[in-house]
Amino acid sequence: MLVKARNLLRKERWLGAVAVAVLCAGVAGGQQPTVQVRGTVKDAKGAAVTGAAVRLREAAGVDVQAITDGAGRFVLPAVAQGDASVTASARGMEARADVSAAKLVEPMVLVLRPAGNSVGEMEFSDAPKFSVAGVTDWTAVGGHGSDATLRTSESLASATASLPGDGAGAATPDEMKVAAEVREDEDRGEVAKAQERVHAALQAHATANLYRLAGEVDEKGDDPLAAVREFEQAAKLEPSEVNEFEWGSELLVHRAIWQAAAVFEHGAEMYPASVRMQTALGTALFAGARYEQAAERLCKASDLAPEDAEPYEFMGKVELAAPEALACVEPHLARYVRLKPGSSEAHYLYAMALLRRQESAPDAAAVAQAEALLKKAVALDAKCGDGYLELGVLAAQRKDLPTAIGYYSKAIDADPMMADAYYRLAKAYERTGQREKAKEAFAMHDKVTQEQAAATERQRKAVKQFLFAKPGDAPTVATP
């Protein structure tokens, strides 16, 4: 149920997923020795908090971020000079501690307390101000690749870059000629030639359209540093919805979450009718563990264009991955079903929102409604593996294991790479005394899990992360 790319100017990026930890280390000048700041985020009762956003900032410009794992732990690399502050936030609560490289106490413990105005904490400004200084491989990520929240964040970041817009505006005949020739180069697989062509055009006549085109081509040519600077230059040379969106999307794909959020926040203020700008801001807020705010932005995007599927798809995924049910999502997904009665995904997402509410307020009628929605979802689309899986879960909860086995098997038929379905099928076989079948299902679960983990690792290692200099340092546009 992926969001399909419909942006006519940009072809879908090859990026499938991005780095495991949210790492955007700031640098101001040459490479300096680093130490790691390790710790745990807990709530007032001492329970570990999963998915909390942790941020370390130094006056010298260092800006490093991470998301806590399933045990509430985080690891942050930090420049070993001067004092710094470490903040954590999640579920409307926050914590703060001051640290010094010379007097570092590890592991540190951050205890969340009720927060104030969390929107202000993100330090959005009227005009985003930061400087991309370089790129790095992500290495300090820990072993949190199975975290559902992180995987959802990665998926949504990639999907955000392909959200459809209203077009790039007017282009001159020369710009259109260059764009057509560049696309022909790309279609032949000659990305390097396309880069040379667009950079030569920029040297002859620098325009916002050509900067944006150069950003697209350089991203495909594995030069994200040049790409992000070109997208930024396009946005500054000719402020527009498309230029601001492309700049923010490039930042988000490379896990510069707070910087992307600042760009999208500014874009949402400047272009309040832009559905994709609100959707993108919601995605960035979700990546920063601002779940309620993310949901509010996605619901606002849906209200701007109730017929559009993308905001519903995004909010449905956010609802499933967030630590708690999100207030505005369920009624919006109910509207999705009303507006799109033939959509399997609409029925599935609304069903899951109803089931999510059961965690805090059990309601037998709502469970029955959710089950009916799931049956409708699989009737509309026989490849709705997620729907079959959840029907199996509901049957297993009623101790109806034969029915559960049937649904789990259909889920696997629909999606042979659904690891959770193999595991649940194995447990159901085990509980019904079918040991050989259970053994086979467990083996398939392990095989699929390993294959998915290896693929995710390869994809994440292929993505560079941006380094940021001290605010005020002017970036330069990459030249060929």
DSSP string, 117-158: -HHHHT---SS---EEEEEEE----TT-TT-HHHHHHHHHHH
Q: CA-based Rg of the chain, rounded to a whole angstrom?
A: 23
**What distance in Å separates the CA atoms of residue 317 and residue 337, rounded to the nearest whole number?**
16
Strands 464-469 and 73-79: unpaired
The answer to whether the CB of 67 falls within 8 A of the CB of 74 is yes
The answer to whether the CB of 418 falls within 8 A of the CB of 412 is yes
How many Cα atoms are found within 13 Å in the side-chain-facing hemisphere of 257? 30
- List residues bridging with 242 in a β-sheet: none
Q: Give Dmax over CA atoms of the chain in angstroms.
A: 75
Q: How far is the CA of 368 from the CAs of 346, 351, 358, in angstroms?
A: 17, 10, 12
Peptide bond preceding 107 in cis form (omega within 30 of 0)? yes
- List residues bridging with 79 in a β-sheet: 34
How many Cα atoms are found within 13 Å in the side-chain-facing hemisphere of 396? 22
Classify burial at 111, counting beta carbons within 10 Å of its beta carbon; exposed 0-12, middle 13-18, buried 19 or more.
Answer: middle
Residue type, 443: A
The answer to whether the CB of 172 falls within 8 A of the CB of 33 is no
Classify burial at 461, counting beta carbons within 10 Å of its beta carbon; exposed 0-12, middle 13-18, buried 19 or more.
Answer: middle
Domains, the chain, ordered by start: 34-144 (2.60.40.1120)
Q: Which residues of the chain have pLDDT under 50?
A: 1-33, 116-125, 139-146, 472-480
* The pLDDT of residue 234: 94
* The pLDDT of residue 34: 55
**What distance in Å separates the CA atoms of residue 348 and residue 408, rounded to the nearest whole number?**
16
DSSP assignment of 33-97 equals -EEEEEEEEE-TTS-B-TT-EEEEEETTS-EEEEE--TTSEEEEEEESSSEEEEEEEETTEEEEE
Q: Which residues contact 340 (CB under 8 A, 6 or more apart)?
A: 309, 346
Backbone angles phi, psi at 143, to 5 degrees: -115, 55
Structure tokens at 470: 């001290």
Helices (H), 254-328: 257-270, 275-287, 291-304, 309-321
Which three-class secondary structure state does DSSP give residue 275? helix
How many Cα atoms are found within 13 Å in the side-chain-facing hemisphere of 104? 21
Helices (H), 161-271: 173-187, 191-204, 208-220, 224-237, 241-253, 257-270
What is the separation, in whole angstroms, between the first and last Cα of the chain?
A: 39
| H helix and E strand count, the chain | 18, 10
* The pLDDT of residue 371: 98
Cα angle at 215 between 209 and 217, to 5 degrees?
105
* The pLDDT of residue 35: 62
Does the global pTM surpass 0.85? no
> What is the CA 8 to chain-centroid distance, rounded?
22
Strands 108-111 and 34-42: parallel
Torsion angle defined by CA atoms of residues 158, 238, 282 and 254, in that order, rounded to the nearest 10 degrees = 40
The answer to whether the CB of 56 falls within 8 A of the CB of 86 is yes
Backbone angles phi, psi at 351, to 5 degrees: -60, -45
